[in-house]
Amino acid sequence: MKHVLTTGLMGGLVTLACLLLAPSAHAAASDQSTCAALTAKITGARLTSANFVAEGTTQQVPTGMGPPMSVTLPAHCDITGVMHERSGENGQAYAIHFHMRLPVRWNQRFVFQGGGGSNGEIGDALGAGAGSTSALAQGYAVVSQDSGHDNRTNNDPSHNGQLAFGFDPQARAEYGHTSLKVVADTAKQIIKVYYGRKPLYSYFIGCSKGGQEGLTFATLYPEEFDGILASAPGFALPRAAVAEAWDVQSFGAVTKASGGDAGSFMALNKTYSDTDLSLVRTAILAACDKDDGVSDGIVGDYLACTDDKVIPQLQAIVCSGGKFDSCLSVAQINALVASHNGPVNSAGRSLYAGWFWPSGIAGNDWRLWKIGSANGQIPALNVLLGGPALASAFTTPPTVLGPNPQTAFEYQMRFDMDRDVAGIYAVAAHFTTSAWHDVGSRSTDLSAFRARGGKLMVPHGESDPVFSLKDTLAWYDDVNTLNGGRANAFVRVFPVPGMCHCGGGQATTQYDAFGALVTWVEKHQAPDSLLGTAASTSPWPGRQRPICVYPQIARYKGKGDIEKATSFICEA
């Protein structure tokens, strides 16, 4: 989860109170000997390390594609462990690895940190996404895990590199869901042994694949968590991977129409310049910006931003002759419309979902996923990640691709929306369950989670280029129908206008969803909105907006400073 969240006052007060009330026995549990002794006291898992980390120790933490970030750590016991060690397909040694941090000043609470992408990384167990400070720094015990495969030891170039686990049925199932409960239960066992008591409250935090894991806990393992923050959930991952192939085909048609190298994945980034995408954003704003009561660069009423409004604005800037910076080609507009509508088969049946018109399209985040960076240094993530994932983990039987991303591109370009989509739901040979069964988590049955008093929050960017907000809202509508129109008593969705995947875009991307979740769980105060603030890299640093619970949107009151959230009201 990459966006930075701002800690709310209530969440901070809860954490402070917990720290002040922390039992004095924790001090005794914090020395090195107690930490090291854990290795002999845990059943069902083998602890591979248990080291005491002194207060103020600094550590370099990976930040995705950016440079690592230095963080200062509180005093804690840092442990790693392994379970389910076995020999799998192609002679690969598989296991579930986990990482856990147990702070000295424990607030008697537990956080499970979700993964991302194809996982395969043990994670830093800091609990990012819990506010402007990590969950660990706030006093939470935190666990993270690799979901049953390791990107280093299970990387097999002959079987799609880091996605080789998709050729192993158990590894695919563990990636999808079966690693989750065993890690959560083991983490709680470790907490009981180390602190001498169970956690008062348990929480899950995740975005993207982590969001899918959160929804999996809510539906398959509802007893595990009191509160779940499942942002931009990839709960329909196999279908979303089909949409990635659809996008590759749609944007590949632009390359072909312009006379470029339509057979190369490296040509996708040339389908739209940054100027072209700015033209698209301008057209979307011209069509929809004012619908929330003010023209401010944010499409607050994203629900009203329909094709009938946007497509005429795009058609108004079609080049009448050659391609210029001030216009878009017919092929470019056709590709945008095709991508926007989502994948369909030859009979017109939807295979995933459509999308809202992305008001955050002009930032780097949207284009990086769909077509790659403008300078060509980073190819489309839809190809780099989506192609091998679809071939390996999301269809049965899995398909071997070559080691070069070009083979993933070619696989996606020839992916047949009539014939090949069936692979998502198929079983074959020793794959006794389908990829949709293993990895899909789009169930609308949250009855057990509701019955145990669980609370679920789902923030999701309107301009997410990977997982469709429309799909998330359709899922919520179905949940709401099943619950007689009262689903918001335990699950709430918070669309973020302009935000891309887990952050980025022209949007107010800083907000404290976790603090609101804790308040909801522990004080029974349900959040109707979150306070969103625009980052320093946005067009409006420091701008604030209410991020309203669906189906409400933030509407301008008609007077007041448009940079302040107080000038807006959430209403249906």
What whole-number distance in Å separates Cα of residue 135 and Cα of residue 101? Answer: 10
Cα–Cα distance for residue pair 41/285, rounded to 1 Å: 60
Using CB atoms within 10 Å of the CB of residue 418, give its burial: 0 to 12 exposed, 13 to 18 middle, 19+ buried.
exposed
DSSP collapsed to 3 states, 488-508: HHCEEEEEECCCCCCCCCCCC
- Residue 72 has phi, psi (to 5 degrees) of -100, 130
Per DSSP, the three-state class of 293 is: coil
Under 8 Å between Cβ of 101 and 141: yes
501 is catalytic: yes
315 in Cβ contact with 279 (< 8 Å): no
Give the CA distances from residue 278 to residues 153, 160, 534, in Å, rounded to whole numbers and listed in that order: 43, 36, 19
Cα–Cα dist 43/192, whole Å: 12
The residues near 91 (Cβ < 8 Å, ≥ 6 apart) are none
User: How far, in Å, CA of 349 to CA of 274, rounded?
Assistant: 33
| Residue in 516, 500, 419, 411 with CA at minimum distance from that of residue 460 | 500
> What spatial distance separates the first Cα and last Cα of the chain, rounded to whole Å?
29
Residue 287: helix, strand or coil by DSSP? Answer: helix
Catalytic residue among 3, 226, 501, 512: 501
The catalytic residue among 276, 464, 471, 512 is 464
Please identify which of the residues 134, 179, 208, 468 carries the catalytic annotation: 208
Of 240, 202, 285, nearest to 440 (Cα)?
Answer: 240
One-character DSSP codes across 346-395 = TT--BSS------TTTTSHHHHHHHT--TTSSS--HIIIIIHHHHHHTSS
DSSP string spanning 16-53? HHHHHH--THHHHTTSHHHHHHGGGT-SSSEEEEEEEE
Separation between Cα atoms, residue 318 and residue 329, nearest integer Å: 6
- For residue 293, what are its two tokens? 């009561």
The residues annotated with a catalytic role in the active site are 208, 464, 501
